[in-house]
Amino acid sequence: MSRMKMVGGLCSLAAALGIPSKPADADEKHFEVTHSDAEWKARLSPAAYNVLRQHGTEPPGTSPLDHEKRPGTYFCAGCELALFDAKTKFDSGTGWPSFFEPLKNAVETSQDNSMFVSRTEVHCRRCGGHLGHVFDDGPPPTGMRFCMNGVALDFKPQSH
């Protein structure tokens, strides 16, 4: 299967799961949470700023969230929107926290051509922060792997 067909297939699968997609060059003013670049820099750690606002990637194996196993919820580090239930987390062996499904109305996707190959970027639907990418090599029931940067997430354990 061609890489372009695979990306199209991922976008179709994401749409079937109710995950909206937007063109990579879409106007970002639609986000509910917006800040100036200086405000984002002041609000976020340098690593979180690099990932969330500059589309960076943290080095694999560096996030403690990759090994987090407690029940709870993963939130956007930029705007605190709930993104993933810990029940959907799995060990992908990639060195990044991975999930097979986001919470409803939590993320959006767009096409990312930055690495000489088309990938499907995942970003926070509320602030537009870059979270990572989604691939079609995940476990059932969705077959998707939402490969997220740990610095883009905050984890809150379930309270008893």
Question: Could you state, in order of their start, the residue ranges of all structural domains in the chain?
Answer: 3-22+31-157
Q: Is the link from the previous residue into 141 a cis peptide, with omega within 30 of 0? A: yes
**Cα angle 14-84-97, degrees, rounded to a multiple of 5:** 95
Q: What is the pLDDT of residues 105-133, one digit of tens each?
A: 999 999 888 867 889 999 999 999 999 99
What average pLDDT does the structure give for the chain? 86
H/E stretch holding 145 reads: strand 145-148
Question: What is the distance, to the nearest Å, from the Cα of residue 4 to the centroid of all Cα atoms in its chain?
Answer: 21
63 phi, psi to nearest 5 deg: -90, 125
pTM: 0.83
Positions marked active-site? 147
CATH topology for the 3-22+31-157 domain: 2.170.150
